[in-house]
Chain A
Amino acid sequence: MNERALDRRSVVGRLLRGRGDALVVTGLGGPTYDVAAAGDTPLNFYLWAAMGGAAMTGLGLARAQPRRRVVVVTGDGEMLMGLGSLATIGADAPQNLAIVVLDNEHYGETGMQLAHTGRGVDLAGIARAAGFAGAATIRTDAELQALARRLFDPGLLFATVKVSSETPPMLLPPRDGPYLRSRFREALLGPDAHK
């Protein structure tokens, strides 16, 4: 790992600063804590399991809310478990969905075992081949700045951000499923949440 690798917390903070009314879905583990650290809001939906399902949750949400930007923030291990979903989303091609992978090349929740991404597997390359035009690997501040500028623009987007494998302080957002889904739907749908 490059010792100048980006810090995951500051990456997420910078990317979500301009989120406006965007909806954010997080993959289990580190990305859930990172997104919560950037500011807990009812319009964040944190996954605490369902590994491999973050991107697809984003797809269903994006199709239900075509006027909203949907951003999935997940980890490299979670994305590797759902590689098929890149093909599904690439084929379906929603224009209001962005997938950002925080890639520390390890399984951080389980003892920092090396992931395929640390052995040369190129998630952005896989995403490009699946139909995410312009899918990029982000390694520098300048590239991160450019990603932050286009993250909320219309279009299907995939970016994998190489981040340090250092583990930031644990920050636990709510994890009660019924609470998370009800507060999300109320914030998004208003009274229709209960119809």
Chain B
Amino acid sequence: MSRSWPDEIFTELKAARIRQVAYVPDAGHSQLLQRCHADREMHTVSLTTEEEGVAMLAGAWLGGDRGVLLLQSSGVGNCINMLAFNQECRIPLLALVTMRGEWGEFNPWQAPMGQATEPSLVAAGVRVYRAETEDEVAETVRAAATFAFQSYRAVAVLIAQRVIGAKRFEK
């Protein structure tokens, strides 16, 4: 049996020496979160809102730790002002965003932020990579982590709803 994309992300996060994991729970990230919680070298922090994670991971990097922010596309909207921290100070950010409001969405309230996710991130100075299929996820996360931590920039990986939907369908 082939490894699942959340497991592949976990492998990439370990390879990138990620120590702090900040998240607002999302079904699409639940398997990855379990792996992170179980890892003794990773410190996981549950947030009340996503911008807390932007500030927390900036502080982590100032202190020498690399981190990752795990969130759903709806949470991107909560982060916009806080992303000034990364852009002005050229502090890395690696954010992994599970998309809602695009592929076969059943909840119309998810549609607006799903559509606004990428343009909002771009407007806030964040580089946006997309993973459209399961096969693309690991290499996209790897490239984003390299860009973020080697080039001192904020990078978001948008994981297409089609990927997450496909995952759920297999259950």
Give the interface of A toward B (CB within 8 A): 23, 25, 45, 47-54, 56-65, 82, 84-85, 87-88, 91-92, 177-178, 180-181, 184-185, 188-189, 192-193
Contact = CB atoms under 8 A, between A and B. Distances in A.
A53 B45 CA distance: 15
A181 B90 contact: yes
Interface residues of B, number: 33
Given A60-B56, A84-B52, 19 more contacts: A49-B81, A52-B51, A53-B54, A57-B55, A57-B59, A60-B22, A60-B60, A61-B59, A61-B62, A63-B20, A64-B62, A65-B63, A82-B52, A84-B48, A85-B55, A88-B46, A88-B48, A178-B89, A178-B90
B157 interface: no
A174 to B, nearest CB: 12
- The secondary structure that dominates the B interface is helix
Binding site secondary structure of chain A: helix
B55 A50 contact: yes
B57 interface: yes
A58 B59 contact: yes
B91 interface: yes
Given A56-B59, A177-B90, A181-B91, A64 B65 contact: yes
24 contacts: A47-B85, A49-B84, A50-B58, A52-B55, A53-B54, A53-B58, A53-B85, A54-B55, A56-B53, A56-B55, A57-B55, A57-B85, A59-B59, A60-B55, A60-B67, A61-B62, A64-B60, A65-B64, A84-B47, A88-B47, A91-B46, A178-B90, A181-B91, A192-B64
